[in-house]
Structure 1
């Protein structure tokens, strides 16, 4: 099993590295979120009332807290969408490209193959999270936002964790792409998660809804308890198991 998973992971990592979809998504997440966060931060600091109104309570902050807060806010929605699209493509392309039939003849089992896909997605997401956090830190330094005190380091740490959790919360997309036999159902599921997370956050129940809890924690750590944040792991664990089980039951005639 370990040897098969290692071989499958090597193949999936090669696919991932060669993929234009993944390369484009990486640029959009890392550079896009950083540019948007820095632009909104600069506009707010320069007294743009329209931007300040859109940011809500964040408009009352300044310096590093403003930059990291805006970055977390953008990552909450944009990161989840990007990771959901990427994972939908990694899993769903086997169906849309009609390569799924060839997997039945492989010596490596289908559950192992999809496990490798999920693991390669997670490894890629960790690299993206590190790159995004580092670029935000560099941007804040270049903008002259001040010294790196304890609160700044904590905010950057939460940004790193939020990005990784966003990738884990995208796991339902893999299950939906499997059941729907293509990327589009996975993407639709991701969008639905984002919408529901926004609604629950506005309703004040976001801390108990796993897709919304990490963003609330990143912005206001005191509003989300440790058990509520830990409950986020239920989503990737559950939907990883469902996806692996669905691949184990795949049939060529359906």
Structure 2
């Protein structure tokens, strides 16, 4: 298992997909938030009207905007990385070589998911740190206890977003297609947005993390917040099961 994790970690670190996706998530959230902050400070009426709770120049407004942006950006970024980690084996034809290894394929799949989980947690920490730095640069002063709590929820949001993206790995395995997995990522984002607008609320695993973070933890209870975790574990199990049953010829 350690050898699998080392190899998969090396693949992710050295790949343009891993580097670009990390930068897109971390720098993207920072840049968008900086743009919103600058626009609000300049008195852009249209931006202020669209920003909603994020239109206030304080920690509350900054973190509200961060939660809104990270909810979508992290799900997209994490899904694309998962699509690459699993779909590339089929797209590049390297899946054939994996059958010759003396390592169970379910172990390889589990190793990929472990590396993905660690990377997602680190990326979430980088996003949170970036928001903290932006707030300090904007002159909001030392974060209050409430702001620290919101920063913690922002990190949890990114981690849970990584979890609800796990079905992308299953889609890549079933379809053996990188493009299908990317399409699955987009579908997850759309379903999450529709679910939130339809009033599914915290009972929809795809929407619960964002609603929880954006409501300061008031709109989603503990049981509802546990659903995304169970959702991720179920699909992680399906991914490992599918890899254990893989055949060279379908």
Shorter-chain TM-score: which interval?
A: over 0.9
Matched, 1:137 2:128: no
Is 2:26 aligned against 1:20?
Answer: no
CA distance in 2, matches of 1:56, 1:197: 20
Distance apart, 1:211 and its partner CA: 1.1
**Residues in 2 aligned to 1:55 and 1:205: alpha-carbon distance in whole angstroms:** 23
Are the counterparts in 1 of residues 54 and 62 from structure 2 also a CA contact under 8 Å?
A: no
TM-score, length basis structure 1: 0.95
* Alignment partners' CA distance in 2, 1:37 and 1:140: 10
Of 48-57 and 191-200, more deviation after overlay is shown by 48-57
Q: How does 1:224-239 map to 2 (within 5 A)?
A: 224-239=220-235
TM-score, scaled relative to structure 2: 0.96
Count how many residue pairs are aligned between Structure 1 and Structure 2: 249
Match of 1:114 among 83, 86, 109: 109
Q: Once the 2 structures are TM-superposed, how far is the Cα of residue 53 of structure 1 from its aligned partner?
A: 2.5
Task: Tell me which of 45, 48, 52 is aligned to 1:52.
Answer: 48
Q: For residues 138 and 57 of structure 2, what CA distance do their matches in structure 1 show? A: 12
> What is aligned with 1:10?
6
Per the alignment, residue 209 of structure 2 pairs with 214
How far apart are 1:119 and its partner, in Å? 0.7
Alignment RMSD: 1.1
In the TM superposition, structure 1's runs of 4+ consecutive aligned residues that sit over 6 Å from their partners are none
1:113-192 maps to which residues of 2 (within 5 A)? 113-192=108-187
- Shift of residue 232, structure 1, vs aligned partner: 1.1
Where does structure 1 lack aligned partners over 5 or more consecutive residues?
none
2:73 to 71, 78, 81: 78
Output one character per residue of 1:179-205: Cα deviation in whole Å (capped at 9) or x when no partner. 110221221112111111111212222
How far apart are the structure 2 equivalents of 1:58 and 1:68?
7
